């Protein structure tokens, strides 16, 4: 009975892997075959690509962020800039957050479901090894810091988190509440209209950066309290879902 169950699980795993490889091959083939690898490096080209979908542009914009967070873990900064050229800053922040959060959960799930080999295939063996060493013994703290601070490799970290001891519930809470913060900062304030990149604006930006650094330092020094807060929040959400 156990042998049959093992054979069934192995067969199911092989089928899932084949499906993922086929989907991945199709996505990568279309991505480079259609020249999207060049378009997605330039905000103006991304803008034209998204606007070409007309009424579906918002849905496609969310899908682009989802794909960039999972199958193509590359910087979504040019896409965010393009989003500000199409949508209002706040609408862009909401759409980007939806795509990125869903993509982050999918990346975490890939790590949990398929393990280290799958993550190494996406992220690279050397990057995986170095990031796991960074995570060791302080997984939740490192995750929170990287999700909170802008311009850090948070998409890659979501894959890595999937092969650590971090639970899905903690990851989901952390991603949902923390990933929108740097996204809002880039979408709403990164345009330079609210806080200009000259004169007094430079002083304000310096203060914002300093606050992020101080916030990271606070998390590092008071991680036990912060972790307890996340656990209480997680337990509260779990009780509401029952």
**pLDDT tens track of the chain, all 242 residues?**
555 555 555 665 566 566 656 655 655 555 555 555 555 666 777 888 888 888 888 998 998 888 888 876 566 778 888 888 899 989 999 999 999 999 899 889 888 888 888 788 777 788 888 878 777 777 777 788 778 776 566 778 888 888 888 888 889 988 998 889 888 888 887 766 777 767 787 788 788 778 777 776 776 677 667 667 766 766 776 666 55
The DSSP annotation for 131-153 comes to HHHHHTT-HHHHHHHHHHSTTS-
Tally of CB atoms within 10 A around 138: 13
Short-list 45, 46, 44, CA closest to 68: 46
CA distances from 152 to 22, 77, 85 (A): 30, 11, 23
Handedness of CA 125, 126, 129, 134 (dihedral sign): negative
**What is the C-alpha to C-alpha distance for residues 205 and 218, in angstroms, rounded to an integer?**
20
């Amino acid at each position: 009975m156990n042998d049959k169950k093992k054979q069934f699980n192995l067969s199911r795993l092989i089928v899932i892997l084949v499906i993922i490889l086929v989907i991945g091959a199709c996505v990568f083939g279309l991505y480079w075959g259609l020249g999207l690898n060049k378009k997605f490096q330039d905000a103006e080209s991304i803008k034209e690509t998204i606007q070409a979908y007309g009424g579906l542009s918002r849905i496609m914009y969310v899908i682009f962020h989802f794909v960039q967070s999972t199958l193509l873990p590359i910087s979504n900064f040019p896409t965010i800039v393009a989003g500000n050229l199409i949508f209002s800053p706040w609408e862009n922040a909401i759409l980007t957050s939806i795509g990125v959060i869903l993509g982050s959960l999918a990346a975490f799930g890939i790590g949990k479901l398929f393990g280290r080999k799958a993550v190494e295939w996406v992220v690279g063996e050397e990057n995986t090894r170095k990031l796991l060493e960074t995570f060791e013994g302080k997984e939740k703290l490192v995750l929170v810091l990287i999700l909170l601070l802008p311009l850090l490799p948070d998409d890659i970290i979501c894959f890595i988190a999937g092969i650590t001891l971090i639970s899905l519930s903690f990851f989901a809470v952390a991603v949902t509440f923390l990933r929108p913060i740097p996204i809002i900062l880039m979408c709403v304030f990164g345009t330079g209209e609210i806080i200009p990149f000259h004169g007094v604006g430079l002083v304000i930006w310096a203060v914002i950066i300093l606050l992020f650094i101080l916030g990271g330092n606070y998390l590092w020094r008071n991680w036990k309290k912060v972790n307890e807060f996340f656990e209480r929040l997680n337990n509260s959400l779990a009780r509401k879902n029952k």
